[in-house]
Amino acid sequence: MAKADAPIAATEPSHARKRSAKRWLRFMPRRTEFHRYPVVGRFAPLARKRAYLWTFRPSGVRRAFYFGSVLSLLPLMSVQLPVGFVLSILVRCNFMILGALQLITNPFTAIPIYGATFMLGRRVLEAAGFNLAAARLPVGWENKGFREVFGQLELGSAIGQAMLCLIVGGLLSGLVLGALLDAVYLLGIRGGAAAAAPARSDPL
């Protein structure tokens, strides 16, 4: 009986992790309720046929961490979820996780996040030799709304340079965030595997 129970016990940590993840992701589009969501809900039949969008296999989960983190920090707020759906199909990753990461950037966090990615991108580009004299955030940008900030940016080269800074900063920040999430996930898998491994008996 002990041998028969061992495989069941070994799978318990894995099932526990999946249940925990699903609880955290319960507010995101689910396979059975995908049709109810705006824009992406129109593609419910297409989404349901692709099991990799909903599976929690490590390969799909890890890809979702990286691509979802990068996408969440790019200047694409309001279209992130539709873009994320297409991206999930292209890279074959878990859409629930990738979609949940898009909640990082919202109307309350957009200004500090985009301000930070702008400054990071600007420093990296200037260190690489780019001349970004025209790219400047308006004075008091941290206390203004998203549309107001971008409405005060000068047109022409200034807006192009500002977008370049945001993209570079978002890409680098997203990769770092994805790596951190991936590291935590791998530690959780290894810890679960170690807990599930049967204890070795001491040699006689």
Q: How far apart are CA 44 and CA 172, in angstroms?
A: 32
Count of residues in the chain? 204
Q: How far apart are CA 114 and CA 137, in angstroms?
A: 11
- pLDDT at residue 56, as a whole number: 85
| Contact (CB, 8 A) for 192 and 58 | no
In order of 18, 33, 72, the CA distances from 178 in angstroms are 19, 27, 11
* 10-residue averages of pLDDT along the chain (204 residues): 50 62 62 60 70 86 95 92 90 90 91 92 86 62 58 58 90 97 89 62 50
- pLDDT at residue 117, as a whole number: 95
| Contact (CB, 8 A) for 9 and 196 | yes
Q: How far apart are CA 202 and CA 204, in angstroms?
A: 6
In order of 60, 103, 178, the CA distances from 54 in angstroms are 9, 18, 19
| Contact (CB, 8 A) for 113 and 71 | no
What lies within 8 Å, CB to CB, of 8 at 6+ separation is none
- Three-class DSSP labels, 59-125: HHHHHHHHHHHHHHHCCCCCCHHHHHHHHHHHHCCCHHHHHHHHHHCCCCCHHHHHHHHHHHHHHHH
Task: Tell me the CA end-to-end span of the chain in Å, nearest whole number.
Answer: 23
